[in-house]
Amino acid sequence: MNTPVEGFSKRSKAEKIDWIAKQYTKDPEASKRILEKYWNTDPKVQKLHDEFIENTISNYYLPFAVAPNFLINDSLYAIPMAIEESSVVAAASKAAKFWLTRGGFKTEILGTEKVGQVHFIYKGEKKKLYSFFEELKPELRKSVSDITENMEKRGGGIKEIQLRDLSEQIEGYYQLHCTFETLDAMGANFINSCLEQFAKTLETKARSYDNFSDEEKNLEVVMSILSNYVPNCVVKAEVSCPVSQLNAGGMSGEEFANKFAQAITIAKLEPYRAVTHNKGIMNGIDAVILATGNDFRAVEAGVHAYAAKDGQYSSLTHAAIDGDTFTFWIEVPLALGTVGGLTTLHPLVKLALEILQNPSAKELMEIVAVAGLAQNFAAVRSLVTTGIQKGHMKMHLLNMLNQMGATEAEKQQLVEHFKYHIVTNASVKEALEKIQSQ
357 and 259 share a domain? yes
At 122-164, the pLDDT tens digits run 999 999 999 999 999 999 999 999 999 999 999 999 999 999 9
- 242 and 378 part of one domain: yes
Check whether residue 176 and residue 254 sit in a common domain.
Answer: no
398 vs 198, residue with greater confidence: 198
* Contact call for residues 195 and 178 (beta carbons, < 8 A): yes
Cα distances from 163 to residues 72, 116, 120, 167, in angstroms, run 41, 12, 11, 12
Per the structure, the complete domain to which residue 402 belongs is given by 393-437
For the chain, the farthest-separated pair of C-alpha atoms sits apart, in whole angstroms, at 78
What's residue 395's pLDDT? Answer: 56
How far is residue 207's CA from residue 219's CA, in Å, rounded to a whole number?
A: 8
Residue 299 lies in a domain: yes
Q: Which helix (H) or strand (E) holds 277?
A: helix 271-291
Residues 85 and 158 in one domain: no
Q: Which position among 10, 153, 392, 419 bears the catalytic label?
A: 392
* Residues 353 and 365: beta-carbon distance below 8 Å: no
**What pLDDT, in 10s, does the model give residues 256-314?**
999 999 999 999 999 999 999 999 999 999 999 999 999 999 999 999 999 999 999 99
Do 20 and 79 sit in the same domain of this protein?
no
Q: Looking at the predicted structure, is the pLDDT value of residue 392 above 70? A: no
Length of the chain equals 438
Strands (E), 41-143: 64-72, 75-82, 106-109, 114-121
Give the domain-ending residue among 173, 203, 227. Answer: 227
Q: What is the mean pLDDT of residues 229-258?
A: 93
Give 7-19 pLDDT, tens digit per residue. Answer: 999 999 999 999 9
Q: What is the pTM of this model?
A: 0.87
DSSP 198-243: HHHHHHHHHHT-TTS-HHHHT-EEEEEEEES--TTSEEEEEEEEEG
294 and 258 share a domain?
A: yes
- What is the spatial distance between Cα 87 and Cα 93, in angstroms, rounded to a whole number? 10
Q: Are residues 148 and 220 in the same domain?
A: yes
15, 42, 85, 354: which one is catalytic? 85
Q: Active-site residue among 126, 279, 421, 434? A: 279
Residue 368 lies in a domain: yes
Q: Among candidates 119, 128, 118, 137, which has minimal Cα distance to 215?
A: 128
**357: which residues sit within 8 A by CB, 6+ positions away?**
77
Neighbour count for residue 270 (Cβ, 10 Å): 15
Q: Does the residue 90 lie in any domain?
A: yes
Claim to verify: residue 91 and residue 127 sit in the same structural domain:
no
206 and 338 both lie in a single domain: no
Q: Rounded distance, CA 252 to CA 264, Å?
A: 18
Please check whether residues 77 and 31 belong to one and the same domain: no
Query: Who's near 70: CB < 8 A, 6+ residues apart?
Result: 76, 77, 78, 79, 96, 100, 104, 105, 367, 370, 371, 374
Give me the number of domains the chain comprises: 4
Average pLDDT over residues 400-415: 86
Q: What is the CATH number of the domain that holds 336?
A: 3.90.770.10
Do both 125 and 185 map to the same domain?
yes
Query: Could you confirm whether 85 is annotated as catalytic?
Result: yes
Q: Answer yes or no: are the C-beta atoms of 325 and 286 closer than 8 Å.
A: no
Where does the pLDDT of residue 419 fall: very low under 50, low under 70, confident under 90, or very high at 90 and above? confident
238, β-bridge pairs = 106, 329
- Examine the residue annotation and report whether 279 is marked as an active-site residue of this protein: yes
Residues 122 and 101 occupy one common structural domain? no
Share of the chain above pLDDT 70, in %: 98
Q: At residue 175, what is the residue type? A: Q
